[in-house]
Structure 1
Amino acid sequence: MAIAKREADAARAKKAEELRGRKRGLAGVDYIIGALSLIGLALSSWMIFFYAPEDALQLDPQRIFYLHVACAWLGMLAFILLAIASVVCLVRKDERWDWIARANAEVGTIFISIALITGSVWGRPIWGTWWVWDARLTATLILWFMYVGYLMLRNYMGRTLDSMRVGAVMALVGAVDVPIIYLSVNWWRGQHPTQQIGNTDAGLPPEALATMFVTLIAFTLLFIFLVRQVYHLQRAQSIAQRLRAIVS
């Protein structure tokens, strides 16, 4: 019995040490991604204000374009990832995918909100108003409401299977809005210029194109970093909720 007990204690100690090593490894990845995103944001800020040429028609207000496009892209990407994670969570019955879904919802709400705000700030000097009911703007606003509704619904229903199911349905419905946002300028006449599918340069000069891609990469790294942090927070909250249920 004593030998068996020592072996069990040794096995638990070994497993605990492996978990601690894994956590240190994950923290190291977070530090690397965070550092890269910080460097990228600093570089993209310099490029936006000092490297990218001034637009001949819109002048300095056009520089909001780089931030606006990056945040809009990530706001839409987050909802697609939210929908995918929600479906996988229901299929595999793995709560970790629900943490991923919730993390994308929280971070995506921030980015889509920044996209709407920067779009309004950019539109004020160019269009002469803070807001127009343009097809793309309206579709983006609908996506923002889907984000907010998803978060409110999940928080109200808690961490239950019914909450996951309803959240997945809502995520799939909202995901339909993402291609509508992208293609709306070609489907309906509005303030935004039309675009060709697959055309990424939009007639930008090389300096502006390079600035756009650097900004996209920098903000994508920031997005990954934030999603990972919120994922860890969601995991901690789930564990704490289970511990409270055991104690009570």
Structure 2
Amino acid sequence: MTWQWFHRLGSPRWFYEKSGNWLPWLTAVTALLLVVGSIWGLAFAPADAKQGNSYRIIYIHMPTAVVSLAGYYVMAISGAVGLIWRMKLAYMMMKSAAIVGAMLTFLALFTGAVWGKPTWGTWWVWDARTAFMVLMLFLYLGVIALQEAYQSHDTATKASAILALVGTVNIPIIYKSVDWWYTLHQPATIKFTSESTIHPSMLYPLLTMIAGVYCLYTVALILYTRAEVLQREKRTKWVQQLVTGAGEAR
């Protein structure tokens, strides 16, 4: 039973058909979480005692940074599944995860620079966490670039998957960089093994935004993967019937 479900999950057609049913619900939940979290954090959360209102960019910066890190594992695991079980859908999801992850990483770096100006007095500082976040952006872009670097599609996907797996070494370094090296970045705000250093009135809208960005990531990943499925499976009968049916409906 488990193997049958796993086999279905690896089917591009099954994924495309099922994900179409998931999207409306996921999109609605995403919109609700992002609207509630952003209004709660930007308008109703109290000002920080030291940073004033400038800290409020944390409600965009931290969720995008957290999800970009988690998204790298999604990309790497998809690549591993593709290498081990030769699943076409896994490679499609790996490419889509690279695109979405790169956008989130860039947004995290950009909002970090905006936050750094009033906090540190400069837009950019090459501290440990920032440097390794930039490295992660290049790893994402490298996976995307390798998809186009080879004439052989099979070689391109395998090379991308290997790069994605090698790059996972960078993720725990990013997590622990503020603990291992002297850095301008503040220590971890949300802690699972001890009490968080952020007041609940600021924490709850932040958690809401993190949940919202996770949902946004999922929606974007599904949309990009669906587009990739149609592109790579365009010669199959079911995609041709889908296109023909959509044309007739117009």
TM-score range, shorter chain: 0.7 to 0.9
How many percent of aligned residue pairs carry the same amino acid? 28
More deviation, 199-208/149-158 = 199-208
Question: Following the alignment from structure 1 to structure 2, what is the Cα–Cα distance between the partners of residues 158 and 70?
Answer: 37
More deviation, 168-177/125-134 = 168-177
Question: Following the alignment from structure 2 to structure 1, what is the Cα–Cα distance between the partners of residues 36 and 187?
Answer: 30
Residue 128 of structure 2 contacts residue 177 of structure 2 at CA under 8 Å; is this kept in 1? Answer: yes
Please state how far the C-alpha of 1:28 moved relative to its aligned partner: 2.6
User: Is 2:114 the partner of 1:111?
Assistant: no
Please state how far the C-alpha of 1:25 moved relative to its aligned partner: 5.0
In structure 1, what is the equivalent of residue 209 of structure 2? Answer: 215
Q: Which whole-Å deviations, capped at 9, do the CAs of 1:209-240 have from their partners, x for residues lacking one?
A: 10111001111111100000001011011013
Paired residue secondary structure (1:194): coil
Please state how far the C-alpha of 1:157 moved relative to its aligned partner: 2.2
Question: Following the alignment from structure 2 to structure 1, what is the Cα–Cα distance between the partners of residues 176 and 43?
Answer: 32
In structure 2, what is the equivalent of residue 48 of structure 1? Answer: 41
Question: Following the alignment from structure 1 to structure 2, what is the Cα–Cα distance between the partners of residues 30 and 194?
Answer: 36
- Aligned pair partner of 2:161 in 164, 168, 181: 168
Paired residue secondary structure (2:192): coil
Paired residue secondary structure (1:232): helix
User: Is 2:118 the partner of 1:122?
Assistant: no
Q: 1:113/1:158 Cα in 2 relative to 1: closer, same or farther (>3 Å)?
A: farther
Question: Following the alignment from structure 1 to structure 2, what is the Cα–Cα distance between the partners of residues 158 and 209?
Answer: 49
Q: 1:198/1:22 Cα in 2 relative to 1: closer, same or farther (>3 Å)?
A: closer
Please state how far the C-alpha of 1:200 moved relative to its aligned partner: 7.4
Please state how far the C-alpha of 1:56 moved relative to its aligned partner: 1.1
In structure 2, what is the equivalent of residue 234 of structure 1? Answer: 228
1:25-174 matches, cutoff 5 A: 25-157=18-150, 160-174=153-167
More deviation, 187-196/102-111 = 187-196
Question: Following the alignment from structure 1 to structure 2, what is the Cα–Cα distance between the partners of residues 21 and 199?
Answer: 40
Paired AA for residue 58 in structure 1: Q
Residue 86 of structure 1 contacts residue 101 of structure 1 at CA under 8 Å; is this kept in 2? Answer: yes
Paired AA for residue 194 in structure 1: P
Structure 2: which 5+ residue stretches go unaligned? Answer: 1-11, 238-250
Question: Following the alignment from structure 2 to structure 1, what is the Cα–Cα distance between the partners of residues 121 and 222?
Answer: 39
Paired residue secondary structure (1:176): helix
Structure 1: which 5+ residue stretches go unaligned? Answer: 1-18, 244-248
- Aligned pair partner of 1:189 in 166, 178, 182: 182
User: Is 2:196 the partner of 1:198?
Assistant: no
Query: Normalising by the residue count of structure 1, what TM-score does the alignment of the two structures yield?
Result: 0.84
Paired residue secondary structure (1:219): helix
Residue 67 of structure 1 contacts residue 118 of structure 1 at CA under 8 Å; is this kept in 2? Answer: yes
Please state how far the C-alpha of 1:156 moved relative to its aligned partner: 2.4
Q: Count residues with an aligned counterpart.
A: 225
RMSD, aligned α-carbons: 2.3
Q: Which whole-Å deviations, capped at 9, do the CAs of 1:109-137 have from their partners, x for residues lacking one?
A: 11011000000000001100000010000
Question: Following the alignment from structure 1 to structure 2, what is the Cα–Cα distance between the partners of residues 130 and 218?
Answer: 27
Paired AA for residue 146 in structure 2: L
Q: Which whole-Å deviations, capped at 9, do the CAs of 1:180-210 have from their partners, x for residues lacking one?
A: 0010111110101234963576411111110
Query: Normalising by the residue count of structure 2, what TM-score does the alignment of the two structures yield?
Result: 0.84
In structure 2, what is the equivalent of residue 9 of structure 1? Answer: none
Q: 1:153/1:21 Cα in 2 relative to 1: closer, same or farther (>3 Å)?
A: closer
In our comparison, the structure showing a higher alpha carbon Rg is 1
